[in-house]
Amino acid sequence: MTYWNAKKRHDVTRLTAAAIAVAALLLPALSYAATPGITGTIFNLVASPIYITQPDGAMIYSWGYGCATGFTPSYLPPQFASVGFCRAGQVPGPTLIVTEGQTVTVNLTNNLPAPVGNTSIVFQGFQVTTGGGTPGLITSEAAHGGSVSYTFVATTPGTHAYYSGTKPDLQIEMGLYGAVVVKPNTVPAGCSAIGSDTQLLGHPDYRLAASAYDHPATCYDREYLFQFMELDPRIHKQAEQQVQAIASCVPTAGGLPCPTTLEVKTEPYHPSYYLINGRSMPDDMDADYAPNYPNQPYNGNPHMHPGDLVLVRTIGQGRWEHPFHEHGNHVRILARDGNLILSQTDSAKLGGRMEFTTDTYPGQSYDGIFYWSGKGLGWDIYGHTPANAGNPPCVPDSNGYYTAASGAPLSAPNYYEWCADHNHPLEANPVGHVGGGGPATLFDPLIAANGLWYNGTPYLGPDAVNRSRGPTPLPPVKSTMNPLEESGIAFMWHSHNEREITTNDVFPGGMLMMMLVDPPVFFIDETL
């Protein structure tokens, strides 16, 4: 511990240039998300052995909750009725969507292999009564082939976790977890009821409810649910091998008996997959219920228009914390574990923090509101300049945006523009048909590399992109991730414990998704 005993740096033996692993990853195009799930008051679930897939090609033996044979659930949002499915097991388990005040019954049948033993479900934040089953340490359990039922009243709105209460270090790791979403049973003042949001211009409404809670400060325009989980493939491999070994074991005459139960080591814990809704990037950006993930139906692929209030529902399902960084703006935390956080002196006002990196703790859920508006950039996000004839107007409402409150037609291409920057150019010199006069000299585009979600310009929307590309468009302007007709602007949402944005040691992967802010009149079809 001396101050300055600097050693000479080792002479580095130059090794031969490493083979750079070029993994061919499949990336989806144009898909969106919502908070799909199954709805009702009675859910007949099973726990089953399944395989899930990862982008490196791995098929990972898992256990998942799913729908019992003969149980045909209803899907929400209703636009998913034609594409939704609920097989015998999935990771995460089916999202159970219920309404505040309802009595909910979940009947669980244990279809896991016999050596697994019992399984169960605990529901975080509810007073549960159990029926049938066998007594377990923290709840009643279903023995192999047997059933148990759980009944609770969905007392308050919000997002809750459910997961196995039996050998949770193993069973949750194997995939036995899911979410309960409780919708409010009222429409708070100022929130638009489902089907009455005129800003949708007649397009479908994908929300589950008008608000997250029975409170006017919790209205929202679209919503996403992210369940975070890390996965140690060695645990899954042990479980798979032991189940197979027990099944094929023949006792030797007078020798050792066959084992009958699993002895899976869950420590030391060494995950190498980092999942959002059971998928790793880029699979998480494929569609909800995409047929290539029969046992991982839920995605993570947020899209929004400027000014949309986006409800982000998040649950930490694993044993690790994950700092999730939402590029683009802060998130206002509304609630933790379904408990709305209000000011202590004025219950009309919110009390939750604003965070640009939202901590996801084991077993905890939070609901938060995010939006992006471009306020305060100091330049016009649509590339309007005063010299450009035919620009739409921008009349500020009482918050400074061009909205219906200030006379904007709902179909205005610059709906929700931040008017203080209207007609103020970004670039010092003209680019394409966007005049200069702004503060910043752009770089020589020939010395930059462009990303797959980059629309090729600083601006939002096809009109601005067309005007500002110049006579010789630079690649990539036809990205399937963000095609010209979309011309959104993209932000990365990802775990900031950055090693978790890898899939089994390969970057990129893991807990990573691209959020797109799309132009106001671009229809975001959440079922795609």
Partner 1 sequence: MRKLFPVCLPILLVCLATTVPAQSNKAQGGGSFMVQCPTSTVWHPGSSVLGYDPTQQEGSYTGPKTVTETVNGVSLPYTLNGGAIKCQEISGGDGFMTEADGNQTFMFSFGPLSGMDAIKHGQPGTQFASVFNNHYNSPTLPSSPNSRNPTYDPSRPVSLNGAVADPAAIMTIGVLNGNLPMPLAAFDEDDEFFLTLSNVGMIMRPDLFEQHTVHFHGYPNASSFYDGVPDATWAINIGGSATYYYMAPDAGTYFYHCHITPPEHLQMGMVGQLYVRPRQNRVPVGTSLYSSLELQQTDLRTACNTGLAGQTAKDILCSTPLPGVNNGAIQQVDPFAGVDPRIPAGTPYKYAYNDGDASTRYDIDVPIQIHGFDPNFHFVGMTFNPEGFADMKDKYFLLNGRSYPDTVGVPGYAGGPSAGSSNPDSASRAIGTEDSDGLTRYSQPLPSLITLIQGERALLRLSDLDVTEYQTLASLGIPMQLVGFQAKLLRDQAGNNLPIVTNSVTLGGGESLDVILDSTGVAPGTYFLYTPNLDHLSNDAENFGGLMTEVQVCASASACTF
Q: Under rule CB under 8 A, which residues in 40-69 are in contact with partner 1?
A: none
Q: Under rule CB under 8 A, which residues in 503-522 are in contact with partner 1?
A: 504-508, 514, 517
Q: β-strand 134-135 against 140-141: which pairing, if any?
A: antiparallel
Nearer to partner 1, 133 or 282 (CB): 282
Q: Does residue number 492 form part of the binding site for partner 1 (CB under 8 A)? A: yes
Q: Under rule CB under 8 A, which residues in 293-312 are in contact with partner 1?
A: 309
Q: What span, in angstroms and rounded, lies between the C-alpha atoms of 436 and 520?
A: 25
Nearer to partner 1, 162 or 298 (CB): 298
Q: Does residue number 498 form part of the binding site for partner 1 (CB under 8 A)? A: yes
The SS3 assignment for 16 reads coil
Q: Does residue number 446 form part of the binding site for partner 1 (CB under 8 A)? A: yes
Q: What span, in angstroms and rounded, lies between the C-alpha atoms of 119 and 121?
A: 7
Nearer to partner 1, 127 or 344 (CB): 344
- Helix (H) / strand (E) containing 465: helix 462-468
Q: Does residue number 9 form part of the binding site for partner 1 (CB under 8 A)? A: yes
Q: What span, in angstroms and rounded, lies between the C-alpha atoms of 113 and 419?
A: 62
Q: Does residue number 375 form part of the binding site for partner 1 (CB under 8 A)? A: yes
Q: How far is the CB of 148 from partner 1 (least distance, A)?
A: 36
Nearer to partner 1, 110 or 495 (CB): 495
Among residues 135, 449, 471, 472, the one that binds partner 1 under rule CB under 8 A:
449
**438 within 8 A of 424, measured Cβ to Cβ:** yes
Q: Does residue number 389 form part of the binding site for partner 1 (CB under 8 A)? A: no
402-436: buried (b, 16+ CB within 10 Å) or exposed (e) per residue?
A: bbeebebeeebbbbbbbbebbbbbbbeeebbebbb
Q: Which amino acid is at 461?
A: G
Among residues 15, 189, 253, 256, the one that binds partner 1 under rule CB under 8 A:
15
Q: Under rule CB under 8 A, which residues in 200-229 are in contact with partner 1?
A: 217
Among residues 137, 378, 429, 478, the one that binds partner 1 under rule CB under 8 A:
378
Q: What span, in angstroms and rounded, lies between the C-alpha atoms of 405 and 198?
A: 13
**87 within 8 A of 51, measured Cβ to Cβ:** no
Q: How far is the CB of 212 from partner 1 (least distance, A)?
A: 11
**92 within 8 A of 284, measured Cβ to Cβ:** no
Nearer to partner 1, 122 or 489 (CB): 489
DSSP at 219:
B
Q: Does residue number 407 form part of the binding site for partner 1 (CB under 8 A)? A: no
Q: Per-residue x/- marks for partner 1, 253-282, CB under 8 A?
A: -----------------xxx---------x
Q: How far is the CB of 403 from partner 1 (least distance, A)?
A: 9
Q: Does residue number 447 form part of the binding site for partner 1 (CB under 8 A)? A: yes
Residue 351 makes CB contacts below 8 A (sequence gap 6+) with: 341, 342, 343, 344
